[in-house]
Amino acid sequence: MSEVQPPTQEQLDAYIRTRLALAGFDLALLPEQPNPETGVPTRNQVLASLRSFVASTPGAIAGWSPAGQTPAYAQQASPPLLYPSITEAWTGKAGER
């Protein structure tokens, strides 16, 4: 298989702008020039910060899996719980953490 190429800066910017638009955030509301009185980040500062986050963190999060002999077993052995404290109280495993 071929190696997956990391996205370019333009692709990351397009992805970030799209996600922000879907969330209802208008990047155009941020100033273009820094304002020391308000401390509001500029558009370029926000894009640079989000670009750094998107390029690094989601890959680390997506690569995590619970402990287990196989990925399928790990999924079954560690199902996500909506209310873990209640489940632990019912099963008596609240003190095993």
pLDDT higher than threshold 80 for residue 32: yes
State residue 66's pLDDT score. Answer: 61
42-90: per-residue pLDDT in tens? 999 999 999 998 888 776 666 666 666 776 666 666 666 666 666 666 7
3-state secondary structure 26-55: CHHHCCCCCCCCCCCCCHHHHHHHHHHHHH
Confidence (pTM): 0.57
pLDDT higher than threshold 80 for residue 12: yes
State residue 91's pLDDT score. Answer: 72
